[in-house]
Structure 1
Amino acid sequence: MSKKKRIIIIGGGAAGFFAAANLDENKYYVTILEQNSDVLQKVKISGGGRCNVTHACFDPRELVNFYPRGNRELLSVFTKFQPGDTMDWFETREVPLKIEKDNRVFPTTDSSQSIINAMINEVKNKNFEVKTQVSVSEIIKQDEDYLIKTKQGDFTADIVIYTTGSSPKSVKLIQNLGHKIVEAVPSLFTFNIKDALLKDLPGTSFENAEVSIPSLKTEESGPLLITHWGLSGPAILKISAWEARNLAKLKYNFDIEVNFISKPISEAEEELKDFKNSNPKRSIGQSKIFDVTNRFWNKILEINHIDAEKQIANLSGKEMSLILENLCAKKLKVTGKSTFKDEFVTAGGVDLKEINFKNMASKILPDLYIAGEVLDIDAVTGGFNFQACWSEAWLISQHLNSN
Structure 2
Amino acid sequence: MNKTISVIGLGYIGLPAAAMFADKGVQVIGVDVNQHAVNIINQGKIHIVEPGLGEMVQKAVANGLLKAVTKPETADAFLIAVPTPFKGDHQPDLSYIEAVSKALAPVLKKGDTVILESTSPVGTTEQMVEWLAAARPDLKFPYENRDEEVDIYVAYCPERVLPGQVIRELVENDRIIGGITDECSNKAIEVYSIFVKGDLVKTNARTAEMSKLTENAFRDVNIAFANELSLIADRLNINVWELIALANRHPRVNILQPGCGVGGHCIAVDPWFIVDKSPDLANIVRTAREVNDNKPNWVIEQVKQAVEKVANFANKKTNEVNIVCYGLAFKPDIDDLRESPALAIAEKLMDLYPNQVKAVEPNYNSEANHSEKEIALLDYQDSLSKVDVAVLLVNHKEFVENKPHFGSNVVVVDTKGIW
Using the size of structure 2 for normalisation, the TM-score is 0.27
Which is bigger in relative contact order (C-alpha 8 A, separation at least 6)? 1
Q: Say which one has the larger Rg.
A: 1
Using the size of structure 1 for normalisation, the TM-score is 0.28
Q: Which has the higher strand share?
A: 1
Q: Which has the higher helix share?
A: 2
